[in-house]
Amino acid sequence: MSFPKEFLFSTGTSAYQIEGAWNKDGRGESIWDQVIHTTPSKVKNNHNADIACDSYNLYKDDIKIIKDIGVTIYHWDLPQALQVIGGWANPLIVDYVEDYADLLFDLFGKKVKWWITINEPREIVRGYESLEFAPCTNLDSPGNYIVGHNALRAHGRIYRLYDRKYRAEQKGKLSTTLSCNFFKGKTNSEDDIKAANRSLQFNTGWFAHPIYSKEGDYPKIMREVIDENSKKEGKGENNWDRITHTNPNFVQNNDNGDVACDSYHLYKEDVKLIKNIGFNMYRFSISWARILPDGDLTNINEAGINYYHNLIDELLQNGIQPMVKWWITINEPNVFMLGYSDDLLAPALKLGFSANYILGHNALKAHAEIFRLYDKKYRSKQRGNISLSIHSMYLEPKTTSEEDKDATNRGWEFHTTPWGLKGVLRFIKDKYNNPPVFITENGYCDSGEFEDIERIAYHRVS
């Protein structure tokens, strides 16, 4: 068989698979290093790539058998530091990948003319939706689709970066590598042919169609199937459902919220109780998973919307003001982050302390986005107020020494304010120009024991 002169023969490698020298000369840990070092049995015979082909030291020998050079920007070896913040499941990954590609183009672009942006994004997804590949997070849908979407966004961002900043001078070419599987119907029946096409589109088409088709977007059949599956009526699973169902002893006495107070069915009785106690306002949270079972607008649960309409109407009919003119965007962002940095709350990911700052930053960004959305689209008609709820604690110096005062001030800056309702209100007034304040919770939280010694001690100190 003969090939035309312009046909290029090449070879390819993955950095993790050949380089070795896993901890030499300042190299950081990758997700594969983390998985293999913590779970050696993940690979047959407990092999790892700490040395591999030792190409880091023997690259000259490798080059002797290579004639042309092509480079892959990302071949599955994500820095573990980025996996700590969610890796490819975090949309911020696109910014990090773009910065990484920018550096590579700047350093090597004058020599390298053939670039692969992302190697086999479908296989990256496998590392998140299963336990086969690193980072082995075993995410369910829609987590796998989010990972795939971010990989596509990253490719697009790198491609446009090269166009904008490097192509005119470096004159290189770049694309992505797709793992392509072909499917053929078992028979020539219409059903088998359609099934084969669905499989093809959900594998190769998932990443090829958005990049290479004239119309862009995901394959039509893929959207139709996912949309149809998303239209199942009812509340979706949230992070607390997941952790209490898969790890029942996470909560004391194996309790969960499957029934709880059953307010979904007994809301009228709840409103009567609120009225009989004499309250004239009621603050309640809206379940994201009840309104949007899949988390996004592709599936809006009408039954969930009707429940909240009915609850609000019942409150108003009984002279109780629901806090829907007083919106709280994010409840206690400095508490829910403990579910990500540690295993104290759902989803108990134990990503490490540094994750706190990323999560806190994202929570603040989300609050600001919601606030500006309300300003732009709803405030003039609805005339509501909007803010966020912060878990505030009050600190006083142990003594009047400057060292203790400085320590107290540092504690305030990190926690916003640990005891003393009056103290924290004064702090907010003086520090933040006396804004309107709702006290949504106060006191001491225990685990529901009858012998609540710690709560008693708290009130005695107060």
pLDDT tens for residues 371-396?
999 999 999 999 999 998 888 766 67
Query: In this structure, what DSSP letter does residue 327 have?
Result: E
pLDDT band at 444 (very low <50, low <70, confident <90, very high): low
Q: Which of 153-162, 197-206, 354-363 is the least confident region?
A: 354-363
Task: Specify whether domain 15-179 bears CATH 3.20.20.10.
Answer: no
User: 77: closest CA among 47, 106, 100, 95?
Assistant: 100
Calpha distance 147→138 (Å, rounded): 12
Give Rg (Cα) of the chain: 28
Average pLDDT, stretch 193-207?
91
Q: Which of 29-38, 396-405, 412-421, 448-457 is the least confident region?
A: 412-421
What local confidence, expressed as pLDDT, does residue 293 receive?
Answer: 87
The predicted-structure confidence for 295-308, as pLDDT tens digits, reads as follows: 888 888 988 999 99
Query: Quick check: 315 and 321 in contact, CB under 8 A?
Result: yes
Q: How many whole angstroms from its chain centre is CA 301?
A: 22
The number of residues making up the chain comes to 462
Helix orientation angle between 143-165 and 93-108, rounded to the nearest 10 degrees: 30
The predicted-structure confidence for 255-268, as pLDDT tens digits, reads as follows: 778 777 788 888 89
| Predicted model pTM | 0.57
Sheet holding 71-74, edge to edge: 71-74, 114-119, 173-177
Q: How buried is residue 360: exposed, middle or buried, by Cβ count under 10 Å (0-12/13-18/19+)?
A: middle
Helix, strand, or coil here: 425?
Answer: helix
Helix, strand, or coil here: 309?
Answer: helix
Q: Which residues pair with 376 in a beta bridge?
A: none
What local confidence, expressed as pLDDT, does residue 67 receive?
Answer: 52
What local confidence, expressed as pLDDT, does residue 86 receive?
Answer: 84
Calpha distance 300→70 (Å, rounded): 46
What local confidence, expressed as pLDDT, does residue 418 receive?
Answer: 41
pLDDT above 90 covers a percentage of the chain that reads 29
What local confidence, expressed as pLDDT, does residue 368 receive?
Answer: 95
Residue 310 has pLDDT above 70, yes or no: yes
What local confidence, expressed as pLDDT, does residue 184 receive?
Answer: 85
Calpha distance 92→96 (Å, rounded): 7
The helix (run of H) or strand (run of E) holding residue 35 is helix 31-38
Query: In this structure, what DSSP letter does residue 202 have?
Result: I
What local confidence, expressed as pLDDT, does residue 156 receive?
Answer: 96
The predicted-structure confidence for 214-254, as pLDDT tens digits, reads as follows: 888 899 999 888 777 766 546 778 887 888 888 888 887 77
Query: Quick check: 73 and 100 in contact, CB under 8 A?
Result: yes
The predicted-structure confidence for 74-102, as pLDDT tens digits, reads as follows: 887 888 888 888 889 888 899 999 999 99
Kindly list the distances between the CA atom of residue 380 and the CA atoms of 366, 371, 374, 420, in Å, as whole numbers in the listed order.
21, 13, 9, 37
Query: Quick check: 113 and 11 in contact, CB under 8 A?
Result: no
pLDDT band at 427 (very low <50, low <70, confident <90, very high): low
Average pLDDT, stretch 314-324?
91
Residue predicted with more confidence, 26 or 63? 26
Domain boundaries, the chain: 15-179, 234-324
**Residues in contact with 358: Cβ distance below 8 Å, sequence separation at least 6, in sequence order:** 85, 92
What local confidence, expressed as pLDDT, does residue 37 receive?
Answer: 80
Q: Which of 28-42, 178-192, 442-456 is the least confident region?
A: 442-456
